[in-house]
């Protein structure tokens, strides 16, 4: 059984992850592709951290969603989608990471791929989180 405090903390993480997912989609619709990429990463990170709490595990201090996915033992079929979003935590924000201007690295075509990965992750994990958010 999940500790009530962990359950409530998990609910907050998951609820915020769903909001970030919605904001990623909305930013894409206005051409904020770099912001959308960052928010897509953030939404998955927060979902994974909420799921870790539901599993009775501590949240590691990391932004590496591939590491979080392995900790959660995410099905292998989801991992390519996780890897699709993993670099965007930094690349979407810092010009010195890829030696390019972040907002110039993203366009609608790239974001449609990333949003597809985002939607797939949430869809395939829905059974693990849907009972914890209203």
The pLDDT tens digits of the residues spanning 57-115 come to 999 999 999 999 999 999 999 999 999 999 999 999 999 988 889 999 999 999 999 99
Q: What mean pLDDT do residues 1-21 have?
A: 91
- Higher pLDDT residue, 6 or 30? 30
Tell me, what's the pLDDT at 133?
A: 81
pLDDT tens for each residue of 110-121: 999 999 999 999
pLDDT tens for each residue of 42-56: 999 999 999 999 999
> CA-CA distance, 64 to 84, in Å (whole number)?
12
pLDDT at 134 exceeding the cut of 80: no
Tokens of 54: 């539901």
Tell me, what's the pLDDT at 21?
A: 98
Tell me, what's the pLDDT at 76?
A: 95
Tell me, what's the pLDDT at 1?
A: 63
Q: What mean pLDDT do residues 10-24 have?
A: 97
């Amino acid at each position: 059984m999940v500790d009530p405090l962990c359950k409530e903390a998990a609910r907050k993480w998951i609820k915020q992850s769903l909001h970030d997912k919605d904001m990623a989609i909305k930013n894409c619709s206005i051409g904020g592709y770099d912001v959308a990429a960052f928010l897509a990463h953030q939404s998955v990170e927060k979902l994974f951290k909420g799921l870790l709490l539901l599993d009775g595990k501590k949240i590691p201090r990391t932004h590496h969603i591939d590491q979080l996915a392995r900790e959660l033992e995410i099905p292998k079929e989801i991992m390519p989608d996780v890897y699709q979003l993993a670099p965007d935590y930094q690349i979407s924000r810092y010009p010195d990471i890829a030696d390019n201007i972040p907002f110039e690295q993203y366009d609608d075509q790239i974001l449609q791929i990333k949003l597809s990965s985002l939607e797939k992750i949430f869809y395939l994990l829905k059974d693990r989180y849907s009972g914890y958010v209203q």
